[in-house]
């Protein structure tokens, strides 16, 4: 059984954002110290696949890492978990703000690939320019049923069961047939640490790069990148001083007023 994990990466937000710019053709240029790392949802998607593989010899985990800024380091950080295959996928052109185009490109690549997945895991958001459209559209492109916001996966006999929580319900899906699951963060899918010897091995590995070209111009054009507007909320924060008791009393007042 093949599990395909599609990873996008996000800019590490412990550091200032590297230089990003759009040229007149609407292509993205990323320069400077580009620290693209796995995002929380990438990590969840990868961990779920690894967890299923831990429990079954019949599982192969195949990973596609989206090409772009810092791709080699990003791919090496994934290699340290010893996926059964790992490739960097270049999209030409790469327009991650155009979710239809991006999903169509990834979809075309996956459809034509030699190894066909029996299960696809992808984060609920695909990288820094997506807020959840690309994974949904990829499911449609691949004509796969979608299980969104999966938090956990386990074996039940020889079937995979996926779990998510919604309101006060926990929902389980037994996968008969191929599904695409988007993964959200959860304690149960926090990415493990790789073994040091595998991290060393990953440093020397040669990583295959594949490319998906498209002639379609895409329909969502980027116009410009700008700085975010200053937050509307510039509170004149009243600092509550005094003894711990006095501070606690002031907090209680706030809570009581809010609760009505």
Partner 1 sequence: MESLMPISRIVGVVPSSWGQESMELTLAALQATCAEAVSPEVVIIGNEEVEARMNLAARSGISRVWQVETPEDIDADEPDAMATLAGEALAQVACAEASSLILTPPGPEGEELAARLAHGLGGHCLGRCLKVRLEDDRIVAERSVWGGRKLISLEVSGGVAVACVRAGKPMLTESADPVDVRKIRVDARAPAAPVLATESSGESLPPVESSKLVISGGRGLNEEGFSMLEQLARSSGGTLGGSLPAVDAGLVPVVRQVGISGKFVSPELYFAVGISGTPQHMAGISPDTRILAINKDPEAPIFSMAEAGVVGEWQELLPEVLGILHDRE
Ligand X SMILES: Cc1cc2nc3c(=O)[nH]c(=O)nc-3n(C[C@H](O)[C@H](O)[C@H](O)COP(=O)(O)OP(=O)(O)OC[C@H]3O[C@@H](n4cnc5c(N)ncnc54)[C@H](O)[C@@H]3O)c2cc1C
Ligand Y SMILES: Nc1ncnc2c1ncn2[C@@H]1O[C@H](COP(=O)(O)O)[C@@H](O)[C@H]1O
Q: Which residues would be at the binding site for ligand X (CB under 6 A)?
A: 10, 13, 39-40, 125
| Contact partner, 14, from partner 1, ligand Y, ligand X, none, Cβ < 5-8 Å per class | ligand Y
Which residues in the 179-238 window bind ligand Y by CB under 6 A? 185
Query: Smallest distance, Å, CB 105 to ligand Y?
Result: 25
In the complex, what is the shortest distance from the CB of residue 34 to ligand Y, in angstroms, rounded to a whole number?
13
Binding mask 110-149 for partner 1 (x = CB under 8 A): --------------xx--xxxxxx--xx--xx---xxxxx
Nearer to ligand X, 42 or 71 (CB): 42
Are 74 and 36 a contacting pair, CB within 8 Å? yes
**Dist CA 218 CA 185 (whole Å):** 31
Cβ atoms of residues 88 and 118 within 8 Å = no
Shortest CB 124 distance to ligand Y, Å? 12
Comparing CB distances to partner 1, the nearer of 60 and 222 is 222
Q: How far is Cα 181 from Cα 140, in angstroms, rounded to an integer?
A: 12
- Can you tell me which of 24, 158, 197, 231 binds partner 1, judged by CB under 8 A? 231
Distance CA 257, CA 236 (A): 19
Q: Applying CB under 6 A, does 96 fall inside the site for ligand Y? A: no
Q: Peptide bond preceding 156: is omega within 30 degrees of 0, i.e. cis? A: no
Strand 19-22 to strand 28-31: parallel, antiparallel, or no bridges (unpaired)?
antiparallel
Opening angle at CA 73, ends 72 and 79, nearest 5: 90
The CA distance from 80 to 199, in Å, is 5
Q: Rounded to the nearest 5°, which phi and psi values hold at 187?
A: -55, -40
Nearest-approach distance from CB 45 to ligand X, in angstroms: 12
CB nearer ligand X, residue 200 or residue 250 = 250
73 contacts ligand Y (rule: CB under 6 A): no
Which residues between 29 and 48 bind ligand Y (CB under 6 A)? Answer: 39-40, 43
Task: Please report whether residue 127 would count as binding ligand Y according to CB under 6 A.
Answer: no
Distance CA 68, CA 76 (A): 14
Q: Which of residues 146-185 bind ligand Y (CB under 6 A)?
A: 185
Integer CA distances (angstroms), 94 to 11, 191, 215, in order: 16, 27, 12
Beta carbon of residue 41, minimum distance to ligand X (angstroms, whole number): 6
Find the part of the chain contacting partner 1 (CB under 8 A) among 60-68, 76-84, 94-102, 113-121: 94-102
Closer to ligand Y by CB, 17 or 22: give it: 17
* Total interface residues for ligand Y by CB under 6 A: 8
Peptide bond into 62 cis (omega under 30): no
Measured in degrees and rounded to the nearest 5, phi and psi for residue 177 equal 100, 175
Q: What does the binding site for ligand Y look like in residue numbers (CB under 6 A)?
A: 10, 12-14, 39-40, 43, 185
């Amino acid at each position: 059984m093949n599990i395909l994990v599609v990873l996008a990466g996000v800019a590490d937000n412990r550091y200032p954002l590297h230089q990003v710019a759009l040229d007149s053709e609407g292509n993205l240029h990323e320069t400077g110290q580009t620290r693209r790392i796995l995002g929380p949802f990438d990590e969840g998607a990868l961990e779920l696949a690894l967890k299923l593989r831990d429990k079954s010899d019949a599982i192969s985990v195949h990973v596609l890492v989206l090409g772009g800024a810092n791709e080699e380091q990003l791919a090496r950080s994934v290699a340290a978990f010893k996926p059964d295959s790992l490739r960097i996928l270049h999209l030409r052109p790469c327009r991650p703000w155009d979710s239809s185009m991006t999903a169509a490109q990834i979809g075309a690549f996956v459809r034509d690939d030699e190894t066909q997945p029996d299960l696809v895991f992808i984060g609920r958001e695909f990288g820094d320019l997506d807020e959840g459209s690309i994974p949904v559209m990829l499911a449609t492109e691949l004509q796969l049923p979608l299980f969104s916001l999966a938090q956990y996966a386990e074996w039940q006999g020889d079937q995979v069961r996926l779990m998510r929580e919604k309101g006060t319900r926990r929902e389980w899906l037994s996968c008969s047939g191929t599904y695409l699951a988007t993964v959200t963060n959860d304690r149960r899918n926090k990415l493990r640490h790789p073994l040091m010897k595998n991290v060393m091995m990953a440093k020397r590995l040669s990583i295959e790069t594949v490319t998906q070209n498209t002639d379609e111009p895409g329909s969502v054009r980027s116009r410009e990148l700008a700085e975010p507007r200053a937050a509307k909320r510039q509170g004149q924060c009243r600092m509550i001083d005094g003894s711990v008791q006095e501070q606690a009393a002031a907090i209680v007042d706030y809570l009581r007023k809010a609760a009505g």
